[in-house]
């Protein structure tokens, strides 16, 4: 098997084809080590697009959302993945806010709660290096699904969904802090874990491991109202 991008690999029987993201060799990518892992080859694979019928209530949700989006549906929903009994919709970033609003407001969908947003970094997934993952919960219908948005590292911008799910305020700040994804329209996008003047985003896979000078003694930390400007 080669490491060509988006090569479809054979999945176990009964499972969807897999999308190859990367091939790692050795322990943590090291070459010539003496740990015994030098010959280790690990394929980083993601489930590919699923075919209908998706099963359970998944088809109904996708059909309703497609109808609500109208002519924009083909652009808004890149593809659908059903894996391990879970539904994931890959959404084009320009349509994310509209998709969230439909999922929240339609009486047959009613995904009233967004449980946050998590960043993921796939350096080898060319032009789709950074992913944002949104788990949604329907309290009315007792259902869960995921939205996932992929953007290039060179243009790591995704619209904020705080206007639809206000609880995402802190989660978007954390994802910006650790992965560098800019959430356009966020009311106050600033670091939430790392110091305001910190360089880089620590949970990216290209972030250096160790060697970051941190000084604890003699540090002066200003009061919260002096650290940033709030509007």
Instruction: Residue 89: count other Cβ atoms within 10 Å of its Cβ.
Output: 23
What is the number of alpha carbons within 13 Å of residue 178 lying toward its C-beta?
A: 16
Looking at residue 120, its pLDDT comes to: 94
Q: Say what the pLDDT of residue 172 is.
A: 98
pLDDT in tens, 25-81: 766 555 555 566 667 788 888 888 899 999 989 999 999 999 999 999 999 999 999
Low-confidence ranges of the chain (pLDDT < 70): 1-17, 26-38, 210-231
Q: What is the pLDDT of residue 38?
A: 66
For helices 58-69 and 96-105, angle between their N-to-C axes, nearest 10 degrees: 120
CATH number for 49-206: choose from 3.40.1360.10, 3.30.460.80, 1.10.10.60, 3.30.300.30.
Answer: 3.30.460.80
Q: What pLDDT is attached to residue 231?
A: 41
Q: Are 159 and 184 in contact (CB under 8 A)?
A: yes
pLDDT of residue 211: 58
The full set of domain ranges for the chain reads 1-48, 49-206
According to the model, what pLDDT value does residue 217 have? 63
The pLDDT assigned to 215 comes to 59
């Amino acid at each position: 098997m080669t490491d060509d991008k988006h090569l479809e690999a054979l999945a176990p029987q009964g499972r969807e084809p897999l999308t190859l993201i990367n091939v790692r060799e050795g322990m943590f990518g090291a070459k010539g080590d003496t740990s015994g892992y030098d010959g280790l080859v690990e394929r980083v694979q993601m489930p590919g697009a699923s075919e209908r019928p998706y099963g359970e209530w998944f088809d109904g949700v996708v059909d309703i959302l497609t109808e609500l989006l109208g002519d924009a549906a083909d652009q808004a929903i890149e593809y659908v993945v059903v894996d391990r009994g879970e539904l994931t919709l890959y959404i084009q970033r320009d349509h994310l806010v509209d998709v969230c609003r439909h999922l929240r407001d339609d009486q047959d969908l009613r995904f009233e709660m967004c449980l946050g947003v998590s960043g993921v970094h796939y350096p080898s997934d060319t032009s789709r290096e950074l992913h944002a993952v949104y788990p949604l919960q329907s309290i009315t219908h007792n259902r869960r699904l995921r939205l996932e948005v992929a953007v290039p590292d060179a243009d790591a911008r995704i619209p904020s969904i705080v206007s639809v799910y206000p609880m995402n305020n802190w989660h978007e700040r954390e994802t910006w802090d650790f992965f560098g994804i800019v959430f356009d329209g966020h009311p106050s996008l600033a670091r939430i874990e790392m110091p305001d003047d910190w360089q880089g985003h620590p949970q990216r896979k290209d972030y250096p491991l160790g060697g970051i000078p941190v000084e604890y003694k003699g540090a002066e930390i200003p009061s919260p109202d002096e650290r940033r400007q709030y509007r």
